[in-house]
């Protein structure tokens, strides 16, 4: 057996021998960005940084990481160092070093400045909005405003014995190890939010990339499909048509049941329409037609070989995370049988699942076929309330309506609306500007100086949005504050024309 399951002080622990002499431990908690709320985004990251600082040790030997649904602490060393690190993490989580809070806020801001925007961030916002699995695509608005009491409460709820699994590489857990954390409870991954009325769908995004994300059930068939689609995209887009340099795919578990399947490519602006057509054609062909058995057999053989090369530690770690997310661990025999069951019909059904849940990011002006519906650019309706006109009216016909339920911005016949009860965060600048983020992913900015009778807007918005959703922002330079763009005679002339 390449991995084993045990318990350490009542906590599930997975362990395996390693190919070298290194010993390693992973403490994986079931909490991540998807569990947060947008206005406090970054609180889990703060807990991880504070705990890692308290533990100390060489930075190349120890690390912490927060993703959508897990937070992991890890180090390597001998048994004594493994035990000391594990004990130290537990101690730090129970008594975080809040004297370090402001410095860690600075570190996280610096880290954010060096972090690029992920290719799939816009798609995740379109799928999930400003909550759950859409949250990793937003800034860490909570950094700098989380108080010690709030952070301690968050740590006490999530970083508990029942919400933890352990992984040991290089042998069984050290004898006598204790896990000194609150008992707590195992908390399942969050139920996903939704921002789209249906799929398959598409939206336009500036840039040179075409990308697609789909939601599929976690399975061996979906992993085989991902590799099969990558092969086809590479052959079609790069080798045959010369349209792209980097077509690729990935399969990434979201929770215990579902995974995100991602496909992407890039190309020159003049080739965007051809690139989109060729990209979608490969996805649709796999859904509409059976793959050749010889093509499938070659991909299955590669997956089988890769699995057999995988280290025992990676298998133990993967099964520990499955346990943490509420899925059954998988033995080597189960995985072999699952590969044996992947045939052409299974792949076609998986391809249909991919296509049915697809969201496509389109870089050019050409829309996909009628198979894909356009993602909504506007809200379904607006709020009732006081109507304000632009200070550039009638040159600018925009209207802003602020009422008891929320705010709607009209730049034509259809509005963008954020209702106060669905506002996940509102950025608040000292000059009175406000930016509201709705749960459905829509956002709008209100600049009081560009609306007639706009002096009261700030107070109305501050009163409507729940206080804990308001995020104070630093003062803006005067040149960044918008003012009326037209001169008086232009407005008078437009009024007479109107």
| CATH number of the structural domain spanning residue 282 | 3.30.830.10
Question: For residues 71 and 437, what is the distance between their CA atoms, to the nearest angstrom?
Answer: 26
Question: For residues 68 and 302, what is the distance between their CA atoms, to the nearest angstrom?
Answer: 29
Residue 61 has pLDDT above 90, yes or no: no
* Same domain for 115 and 56: yes
* Same domain for 397 and 290: no
Residue 15: phi, psi to the nearest 5? Answer: -145, 160
Residue that terminates a domain, selected from 330, 347, 372: 372
* Same domain for 265 and 215: yes
Residue 187 lies in a domain: no
Give residue 59's pLDDT. Answer: 60
Residue that terminates a domain, selected from 342, 372, 402: 372
Domain of residue 304, residue span: 201-372
Residue 1 has pLDDT above 60, yes or no: no
* Same domain for 211 and 326: yes
* Same domain for 342 and 412: no
Residue 181 lies in a domain: no
Residue 402 lies in a domain: yes
* Same domain for 304 and 234: yes
* Same domain for 399 and 324: no
Residue that terminates a domain, selected from 372, 394, 414: 372
Mean pLDDT over residues 405-414, rounded?
96
Query: What confidence tens digit (pLDDT) does each residue in 255-270 have?
Result: 999 999 999 999 999 9
Residue 292 lies in a domain: yes
Residue 491 has pLDDT above 60, yes or no: no
Contacts of 169 (CB under 8 A, 6+ apart): 15, 16, 18, 22, 23, 24, 25, 26, 313, 316
Give CA angle at 9 (33, 57), nearest 5°: 60
* Same domain for 333 and 224: yes
Contact 296, 342 (CB under 8 A): yes
Residue 62 lies in a domain: yes
* Same domain for 224 and 142: no
Give residue 169's pLDDT. Answer: 95
* Same domain for 334 and 410: no
Residue 381 lies in a domain: no
CA dihedral 40, 45, 50, 53 (to 10 degrees): -160
Positive or negative: CA dihedral 274, 280, 284, 285: positive
Whether the ω angle into residue 282 lies within 30 degrees of 0, i.e. cis, is no
Give residue 113's pLDDT. Answer: 86
Residue 190 lies in a domain: no
* Same domain for 331 and 465: no
Query: What confidence tens digit (pLDDT) does each residue in 443-463 have?
Result: 999 999 999 989 999 999 999
User: How many other β-carbons are positioned within 10 Å of the β-carbon of residue 11?
Assistant: 20
Query: What confidence tens digit (pLDDT) does each residue in 340-385 have?
Result: 999 999 999 999 999 999 999 999 778 898 999 999 999 999 999 9
Number of domains within the chain: 3
Beta bridge partners of 248: 264
477: which 2 tokens? 């330079």
Mean pLDDT over residues 39-65, rounded?
90
* Same domain for 106 and 36: yes
Residue 234 lies in a domain: yes
What is this structure's pTM?
Answer: 0.94
């Amino acid at each position: 057996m390449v991995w084993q399951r045990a318990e350490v002080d009542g906590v599930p622990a997975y362990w395996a021998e390693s190919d070298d002499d290194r010993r390693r431990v992973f403490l994986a908690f079931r909490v991540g960005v998807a569990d947060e709320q947008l206005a406090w985004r970054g609180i889990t990251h703060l807990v991880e940084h504070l705990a890692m600082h308290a533990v100390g040790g060489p930075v190349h030997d120890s690390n912490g990481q927060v993703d959508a649904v897990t937070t992991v602490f890890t180090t390597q060393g001998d048994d004594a160092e493994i035990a000391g690190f594990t004990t130290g993490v537990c101690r730090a989580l129970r008594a975080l070093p809040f004297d370090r809070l402001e410095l860690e806020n600075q570190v996280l801001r610096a880290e954010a400045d060096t972090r690029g925007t992920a290719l799939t961030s816009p798609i995740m916002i379109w799928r999930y909005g400003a909550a759950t699995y859409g949250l990793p695509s937003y800034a860490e608005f909570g950094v700098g405003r989380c108080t010690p009491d709030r952070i301690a409460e968050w740590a006490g709820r999530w970083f508990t014995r029942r919400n933890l699994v352990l992984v040991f590489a290089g042998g069984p857990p050290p004898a006598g190890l204790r896990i000194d954390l609150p008992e707590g409870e195992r908390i399942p991954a969050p139920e996903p939010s939704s921002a789209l009325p249906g799929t398959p769908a598409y939206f336009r995004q500036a840039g040179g990339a075409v990308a697609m994300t789909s939601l599929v059930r976690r399975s061996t068939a979906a992993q085989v499909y991902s590799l099969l689609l990558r092969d086809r995209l590479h052959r079609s887009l790069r080798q045959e048509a010369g349209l792209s340099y980097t077509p690729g795919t990935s399969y990434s578990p979201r929770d215990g049941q579902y995974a995100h399947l991602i496909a992407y490519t890039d190309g020159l602006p003049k080739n965007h329409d051809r690139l989109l057509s060729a990209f979608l054609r490969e996805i649709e062909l796999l859904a509409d037609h059976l793959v050749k058995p010889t093509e499938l057999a070659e991909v299955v053989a590669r997956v089988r070989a890769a699995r057999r090369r995988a280290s025992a530690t990676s298998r133990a770690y993967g099964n520990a995370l499955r346990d943490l997310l509420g899925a059954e661990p998988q033995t080597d025999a189960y995985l072999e049988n699952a590969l044996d069951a992947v045939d052409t019909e299974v792949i076609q059904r998986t391809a249909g699942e991919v296509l049915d849940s697809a969201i496509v990011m389109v870089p050019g002006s050409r829309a996909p076929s009628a198979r894909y519906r356009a993602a909504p650019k506007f809200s379904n309706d607006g709020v009732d309330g006081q109507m304000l006109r632009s200070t550039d009216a009638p040159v600018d016909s925009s209207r802003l309506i602020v009422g008891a339920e929320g705010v709607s911005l009209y730049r034509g016949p259809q509005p963008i609306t954020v209702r106060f009860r669905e506002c996940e965060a509102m950025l608040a600048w000292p000059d009175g500007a406000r930016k509201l983020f709705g749960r459905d992913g829509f956002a709008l900015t209100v600049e009081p100086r560009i609306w007639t009778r706009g002096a009261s807007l700030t107070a109305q918005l501050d009163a409507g949005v729940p206080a804990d959703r308001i995020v104070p922002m630093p003062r803006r330079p005067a040149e960044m504050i918008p003012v009326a763009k037209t001169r008086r005679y232009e407005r008078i002339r437009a009024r007479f024309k109107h």
